[in-house]
Amino acid sequence: MRNTDKDPSPLLVRPSMERRTFLRGALAAGAVITAFGGGAYVLADEAETEKARAQTKPDGRPRLPPRQYLLKSLRPMGGTEGDASPGAFRLKVYGEVDAPFEIDFAELLKMPQIEQVCDVHCVTRWSMLDAAWTGVRVSDLAARAKVKPTARHVIFEAAYGYTSNVLLREAMAPNVLVAHRHEGKPLGRPHGAPVRALVPDLYFWKSAKWLTGIRFSAVDRPGYWELRGYSNHADPWKEERYS
């Protein structure tokens, strides 16, 4: 069974979005909404949303990408869960590198730890602002692996064959992490425990949950959702939802 990290498939996403638009109009801001498959999420109020729409990022882009709405907490998006035990965790870093390696959870914690607050954006049109994360920069793992000049892409590998592909130059950004804590707590099972990728400047399906490997590649390898009609790049500000 594949890790689908259930951002809906291209055939299902539009009806799903229409349902969310209806819910947003029908319920008061701040209401708790029960989602399909269980779980709940809380809509931000209109004042918070309008404040976010008025803000800009340092590069001049609006803080809230087009047609996104705000949630107060990270929403579980499903998928086939991997082993959530830190004791069972192994991360393989390999591919176009001179020094491939594999580390366990204890070794990951010995590497320089980054605490950052950032916004995340899902292709299903929800965003969460000021999400707090702790983890290790992918760039630090790349430096340890001694990535070859031939590498152009990073492939995040996760449980049950799920993959997502990111351009090397974007994966090396200082805010791209292998994250193991969220909001000051160990990453929850629905969010990819014990470790997930975090690529905040792309739609959230790129941030593979239940991470098992980081593969550096000279050629692009479209991932699970990319092969099913999603954008190969996934920039939320350009609304790169579909290929």
Going from the N-terminus, what domains does the chain have, and what CATH number goes with each? 10-238 (3.90.420.10)
Average pLDDT for consecutive 10-residue bins of the chain (243 residues)?
Answer: 43 38 42 46 86 94 95 88 96 98 98 98 96 98 98 97 98 98 96 97 97 98 97 98 92
Distance between CA atoms of residues 235 and 88, nearest Å: 33
pTM: 0.85
pLDDT of residue 44: 86
The pLDDT value given to residue 8: 40
The whole-number pLDDT of residue 86 equals 97
Q: Is 118 exposed, middle or buried (CB count within 10 Å of its CB: 0-12, 13-18, 19+)?
A: middle
Residue 40: predicted pLDDT: 59
